[in-house]
Amino acid sequence: MKKELPSSFPQEILPDLISYLKHLEGKGIRSLYLDDIEESGPFEQPSSTSAEGGEPVPVTAIRKDLAELEEGVRACTDCPLHETRTQVVFGVGNPGTKVMFIGEAPGRDEDLQGEPFVGRAGQLLTKILEAIDQKRENVYITNILKCRPPDNRDPQESEVRCCEKYLISQIELIQPKLICALGRIAAQWLLQTKAPLGTLRTGEYYYQGIRVLVTYHPAALLRNPQFKRPAWEDFKKLKAMLEASP
Ligand code: URA
């Protein structure tokens, strides 16, 4: 619904206000609370040389940059999780993909094998991908945290703050057309909100101009089979979006 501005509204600030609201929208913020504004960081004018407007980066170059980034993450000791990890779990897949899947954090199997989503939840994700005609190796899969939290507890905010720079770089390098947030932790980070998953699943959101689709975490589907049907609807939507995207 269009909102009318009061006649006393200073028209001269309108272009800046619109730019600022677009900036917030690009960060996935569609409802405005004071906290959102304070947390959304310093405002930068949208750049006219966006990645979309520029020359496409060759996949080999992205692969090389990702490998360099991964090397840095393997040496990371920025948070206490490095003390208990077996291996860093960086991410796998095709850096030239249109779609990136983001989960929460490595579990036991992932920590042992050094690859995201290889345990029971991961096997379910692989099956779901096959059901929408996507091969696991043709998409990109990663997590919010690159190291396993002990006993698979939820990531702590301090751990997310330490680790997010790696995910931000992965997204910047890969520049997917679509991001699929697997579960609450990924969705809340991407959209910088504390809203529950049930609310986020149904909205239309963007992270830095990239469309974000929110769905259940595959582990939640294993625990709650009643979520499988709505999750299937989400994945059908994702399939349609991928087919429609150039
Ligand atoms: N759960 C996640 O969120 N990520 C994994 O890699 C495995 C399980």
User: Hey, where are the domains in the chain?
Assistant: 13-43, 45-244
How large is the average pLDDT for residues 10-37?
59
Contacts of 125 (CB under 8 A, 6+ apart): 101, 117, 136, 141, 182, 218
CB of 143 shorter than 6 A to ligand 1: yes
State the distance from the centre of ligand 1 to the C-alpha of 68, rounded, in angstroms. 23
- Cβ distance 218 to 232 under 8 Å? no
CATH fold for the domain made of 45-244? Uracil-DNA Glycosylase, subunit E (3.40.470)
Query: How far are the Cα atoms of 14, 24, 33, 180 from residue 10, in angstroms, in the given order?
Result: 7, 21, 21, 40
Q: What is the pLDDT of residue 142?
A: 99
Phi/psi of residue 175, nearest 5 degrees: 45, 60
Both tokens of 180, joined, read: 């699929």
How large is the average pLDDT for residues 57-78?
97
State the distance from the centre of ligand 1 to the C-alpha of 90, rounded, in angstroms. 11
CB of 104 shorter than 6 A to ligand 1: yes
State the distance from the centre of ligand 1 to the C-alpha of 143, rounded, in angstroms. 7
- Cβ distance 171 to 100 under 8 Å? yes
CB of 110 shorter than 6 A to ligand 1: yes
Asked whether residue 54 carries a pLDDT value surpassing 90, the answer given is no
133 Rama class: left (phi>0) / alpha (psi -120 to 50) / beta: left
Q: What is the pLDDT of residue 15?
A: 59
Which long-range contacts (C-beta less than 8 Å, at least 24 apart) are formed by 221-226? 221/121, 221/124, 222/120, 222/121, 222/124
Question: CA-CA distance, 68 to 124, in Å (whole number)?
Answer: 30
